Amino acid sequence: MGGLVSIQNSAVLASNLPSTVNFPANHFAPGGSATNGSCRTVSYPLLANNAFWQNSAYYIGVGALSAQYQQNIVSLYNAFTTTLAPNQPQAGATTAHGAGFTITGGTGACMPATYWDIGVRGDTGPGAHTNAGAIQLAPINSILTNASENGLGSNNLPGSNPNFASQYCDGARTPPELAASGFAVPPGISDATVPNPIFNLTPVATVDEGNNWINLRWGPLSLLNPVSGATLGNYSITAGSPAIDKANDTFSPSTDFFGTHRPQGSEPDIGAVEFIEGNAADMDVSPQSIAFGSVTINTTSPSQFVTVTNTGSATLTGISTTFTGSAAFTRGSGTQNCGTTLAVGATCRIYVTFHPTAAGTVNATMTINSNDTSPDAAADKVVSLSGTGVKLTVTPGSLAFVSIGGGFSAAQTVTLGNVGPGAIGLNAPTITNVINGVTFNILSNNCPASLNPGANCQIRVRFSAPTPFTVGTGSLNVSDNEPATVTVGLTGIRLF
């Protein structure tokens, strides 16, 4: 596939950027800053799910003297060696398609060469980050020819041949199979100059090629071999390709180059073309952790849920849950609750409740079982669960205030209780997370420093806002020495 070079931003663009620029995720070097990061200096693309493979790197040079033409021959060299590039002239070689050129393979044949897939302008070779700032790109879930080009990326497959159906390589413009002549004069000679001077690449301050006559043509100019009709470039992957099911589905489009639905297997494939294989289910779960916070012991929390999505190409079956680590977490119920099967592209919910029987923090996991056998199935199906059992009770769980004018609203009461066993020490209540410039004020608090089992106490709260039609929120927090914290949501509005 094609290589990629990232270019530094022009002086004009750099001078017109604001003093602070925040770049989106994956568009600055990993480990760097999203604010005024590497993207301020260089174009920093998201490189995900790409197949960078065997991008030949050449340079033009002056070859040996040809006995046939008594001229130095224009030659292509591998960029990082002094070896002639494939299908290029050697002194005294027999020609197949034009003066001075030797073909060792057929039209479009891919011969051994030096490869360079990605980089930033100023680099001197694969993995040689010598550009200004030594910026490295970060390919992810991609195939690369050289391991040195991983850069700051992850989950790449360096050196893994993607098994394309047919690669396309530069070669003779005139098919060597036709044994046809190409040029009337040897490469590197001006047919208007007599006698012909010995050819050399000499820098000259003139237009065109600096007055260096280079008769050089690339080919083939067709995707088919003009003699055999064979396809020269087919970048569909074939069976056994390491690219199959290895793409990151977060960045994968829903269809491939030909409009085929992705994925055809358990995960999308690396590259532009999806390999059509047997259908497979793929389960994605979000979020993969649920935190219940503080819940009074011997009571059941409100349900929380995770969303299950079938991103595969076959029905998800055998959906069930297994809890490990604590019996305090159990399957709950609610709308869109998952059954045992889920169609392709569909979503459902799995609800969970927390019922602590003792004070303290509880951690557990919920495993969602199914017929998903994709590479990320083991990680996708596990959900982390956490919660804290507390002795404190709080009634009600939220307060809503209305005020008129610039004064305080009527006070509302929150009742705290201790379900036991044993007394608990109470800390002074606090109000946090207040927004929109409003005020929530604790008018009174008769709670003792130590609250006995079965006892209760009251905290009275009121609200004010500086301007009419202002809505604000906040939180009332009460903590004990277990330690645990209960929170009451606060909402207020000033009408006039």
pLDDT at 104: 46
**What is the CATH topology of the domain spanning 393-494?**
Immunoglobulin-like (2.60.40)
Type of residue found at 145: T
pLDDT at 96: 30
CB atoms within 10 A of CB 13: 11
- The per-residue DSSP string of 304-362 comes to EEEEEEE-SSS-B---EEEEES-TTEEE---TTB--S-B-TT-EEEEEEEE--SSSEEE
In angstroms, rounded to a whole number, what is the distance separating the alpha carbons of residues 356 and 390? 8
The pTM score is 0.54
Instruction: Give the pLDDT of residue 196.
Output: 67
pLDDT at 349: 97
Burial letters 40-70, b for 16+ CB under 10 A, else e: bbbebeebbbbbbbbbbbbeebbbeebeebe
Is residue 305 within 8 A of residue 334, CB to CB? The reply is yes
Residue 232's pLDDT is what? 79
- Say how far residue 451 (Cα) sits from the centre of its chain: 52
Parallel, antiparallel or unpaired: strands 470-480 and 424-425: unpaired
Q: Is the dihedral of CA 388, 389, 394, 399 positive or negative?
A: positive
pLDDT (0 to 100) of residue 315 = 94
Largest CA distance in the chain: 114
Q: Could you tell me which of 116, 113, 114 has the C-alpha nearest to residue 149?
A: 116
pLDDT in 10s for each residue of the chain, 496 residues: 568 999 999 999 989 999 999 999 899 989 888 998 888 999 999 999 999 999 887 777 777 887 776 777 777 777 777 776 655 544 333 333 233 334 445 666 777 788 899 999 999 889 899 998 899 999 999 999 999 998 899 999 999 999 998 887 766 555 666 655 444 455 555 556 666 667 666 655 444 545 555 555 555 567 777 777 777 788 899 989 999 999 998 999 999 998 888 888 888 999 999 998 777 888 999 999 999 998 999 999 999 999 999 988 889 999 999 999 999 999 999 999 999 999 998 999 999 999 999 999 999 999 999 999 877 788 899 999 999 999 999 999 999 999 999 899 999 999 999 999 999 999 999 999 999 999 999 999 999 999 999 999 999 999 999 999 999 999 999 999 888 889 999 999 999 9
What is the model's pLDDT at position 429? Answer: 97
Asked if 59 and 72 count as a contact pair (C-beta separation under 8 A), the reply is: no
pLDDT of residue 194: 64
The count of residues in the chain is 496
For β-strands 382-390 and 289-296, DSSP reports them as parallel
Instruction: Please report, as a single letter, which amino acid is at residue 324.
Output: T
* pLDDT recorded at residue 211: 52
Q: Does domain 283-390 have CATH number 3.40.50.2000?
A: no
pLDDT for the residue numbered 93: 33
Instruction: Supply angle C-alpha 114, 117, 118, rounded to 5.
Output: 135
Residue 24 DSSP label: P
Q: Which residues lie below 8 Å from residue 14, measured CB to CB, with a gap of 6+?
A: 40, 41
Q: Name the residue ranges covered by the structural domains of the chain.
A: 1-55+109-277, 283-390, 393-494
